[in-house]
Amino acid sequence: MQTFKHEDLDEDILTDLLEEINELYEASEQTLIELELKPEDNELQRSLFRSIHTIKGDLGLVNFSPLIPLLQHGEDLLDYLRKGQIQYTSNMSDLVLLIMDRVKVFVQSCIQTGQAEYNKTLFDKLVVEIQRITPENAAEHEHLLAKAVSILDPSLDLSVEQPKGKENTEASAPSSIATTGIPKSISNDDREDLVFFRELMKPIEKRSKYWEGRGDRIAKLAGYINKIAGSPINEVQLAVACYMHDFGMAFIPIAVLHKQEKLDETEFNLMRSHVYKSARLLENLNQWNEARKMVMQHHERIDGTGYPLGIKQDDICEGAKLLAILDTFDAITHARAHEGHQQRPKKKAVIEINRIAKGKFSGKWMQAFNKGMAALLTSERAR
């Protein structure tokens, strides 16, 4: 590992830089999702190119030199794409977002400590692989892109088909989650619906400062934990439920949502009503009935103390059991208004959930959750 120490830069400059990178990351993520639906849309391709080009330029202005070659060759790849010389693929989206992840971590470290560690050997190896992708070797692109992705994240083995085993067999825990909450191998119709639901939730999440990004965070983590458990839950139905489970919160008065004091009985019942409102949106869409059931049941508890129906154990669907854990995890790792809630670090949040799990959460899903979080937290410490 090498250590980069930046020049004596004003903290405001670095903070502004990180904010712009975050904005460009979010814009790029949305662009990549839309490209999954319209891979030949040249305006989307150009937009993605501009994002990488802008980030590279910003880092050049502050002399964050270790990242420039990586971004330059990522930009070259997207230049081929926008000129119609190569085709867009899902592996390309993984590569772009993983590169942007490294950029964010690098800049965050510089802001926090004045320096950042990076693996020059890995970056150089990645640059070599990206350089090998040219308009002349189209038949090799998927293999080369998959190899490049695996350099940044070895847990994403995209080039080799996984052997088929018994259903519900637990998978080993990869060290990172997917770059988006939208599963890749789904039909265009399902993808269009899922993108619609995700977009529908964006203005809803902005209604409260405590919600922004919640749907994406939970959907990505749910897909990750579901795979660890052997994918017993339909991944598309699960993703829809993750995005839509709190839709009904939009119709709760802000005064109640942001109330600092303990809610009275009327206010608490009003909060509980959000599951009906959320589920009702899906009840006339028969193809999403499984997701609707997850939404309706995600506040039920194994011992029957949950709501709205007080059902227990096997009467609760598997997707709702998983969503209950992840909904709670996200709530205690991100600041909220109620009950003087304080944001907890992820490790402490995992410990806290395990402490309250008995009677509330499924033992099977807690085991998969713990396995996944252990891998993720270990990976974060190693960065």
Neighbour-count burial of 277, counting CB atoms closer than 10 A to its CB (0-12 exposed, 13-18 middle, 19+ buried): middle
Let me know whether 207 and 316 are in one domain: yes
Quick one: pLDDT at residue 45?
93
* Mean pLDDT, rounded, of the chain: 84
| 2, β-bridge pairs | 118
The count of residues in the chain is 383
Return the axis-axis angle of helices 318-333 and 235-244, rounded to nearest 10°. Answer: 40
Let me know whether 50 and 112 are in one domain: yes
Let me know whether 333 and 259 are in one domain: yes
Estimate to the nearest angstrom the gap between the alpha carbon of 344 and the chain centroid. Answer: 19
Let me know whether 365 and 223 are in one domain: yes
CA dihedral 263, 268, 270, 274 (to 10 degrees): 120
Let me know whether 200 and 147 are in one domain: no
Contact call for residues 116 and 4 (beta carbons, < 8 A):
yes
Q: Does residue 67 sit within a domain?
A: yes
Domain that holds residue 81: 2-152
Let me know whether 8 and 134 are in one domain: yes
Let me know whether 238 and 334 are in one domain: yes
Quick one: pLDDT at residue 15?
82
Instruction: Between 48 and 173, name the one with better pLDDT.
Output: 48
**22-62 pLDDT, tens per residue?**
888 778 877 877 777 688 899 999 999 999 999 999 888 88
Let me know whether 233 and 367 are in one domain: yes
- Strand, helix or coil for residue 115: strand
DSSP 202-244: HHHHTTSTTTTTHHHHHHHHHHHHHHHTT--S-HHHHHHHHHH
Quick one: pLDDT at residue 158?
40
Let me know whether 132 and 201 are in one domain: no
Q: How many domains does the chain fold into?
A: 2
Proportion of the chain above pLDDT 90, given as a percent: 39
Let me know whether 141 and 213 are in one domain: no
CATH number for 202: 1.10.3210.10
Q: Does residue 33 sit within a domain?
A: yes
Let me know whether 225 and 115 are in one domain: no
Quick one: pLDDT at residue 291?
96
CATH number for 52: 1.20.120.160
| Angle at alpha carbon of residue 95, lines to 89 and 100, rounded to 5° | 135
Residue 169 has pLDDT above 60, yes or no: no
**176-235 pLDDT, tens per residue?**
677 678 887 788 889 889 989 998 888 888 777 667 788 888 999 999 999 999 999 999
Whose structure tokens read 């942007």? 100
Per-residue pLDDT band for 349 (boundaries 50, 70, 90) equals: confident
DSSP 161: P
Let me know whether 49 and 195 are in one domain: no
User: What is the mean pLDDT of the segment spanning 276-289?
Assistant: 90
